Amino acid sequence: MKKQKEVWDKKTRQYIMSELARKKEKMGLGLWEFQVRFEEKDEEGENRAALAEMSMDDRYNKATFFFYPLLGRRYKEGNVAQVDRAITHELVHCFTCPLYYASLDRFATKKELLDNLERCTESIAALLEKR
């Protein structure tokens, strides 16, 4: 098995960064400040199949993207469509997370709220990828 660091070679990082920048502009997120972290370990537990995650502070238009080695492996396997879709999905959170914050009291459980957030985010990402 390859070491995790080998997944994040220069070509893989450059592709992800260029797609993130391209999609950022395409989606009208040019005023946002992004940070990127290429993680050394895959997500564990319930999210072990996660390719990427993000955290944000929409008050200041700032977001941090966490790309997991599984995403890098998908790129190296030639599954560029899955990589592109994951990047789009994470960017769409810039639009859907404020709804999440506003809806915290509406849903019965946090899991129900997160399930709805992910369903909404994935629907928007699917529409954007068809363009």
Dig out the tokens for 69 from the structure: 């080695």
The per-type count for the chain, helices as H runs and strands as E runs, is 5, 3
User: What gap in Å lies between CA 66 and CA 35, rounded to an integer?
Assistant: 9
pLDDT of 4-23, one tens digit each? 558 999 999 999 999 999 99
Higher pLDDT pick, 121 / 53 = 53
Global confidence as pTM: 0.79
Of the two residues 17 and 28, the one the predictor is more confident about is: 17
Length of the chain: 131
* Chain Cα centroid distance, residue 122: 11
Residue position matching structure tokens 């990402």: 125
pLDDT tens digits, one per residue of 31-80 = 899 999 999 999 887 667 899 999 998 788 899 999 999 999 999 999 99
Q: What confidence category does residue 121 fall into, taking pLDDT thresholds of 50, 70 and 90?
A: confident
pLDDT for residue 110: 79
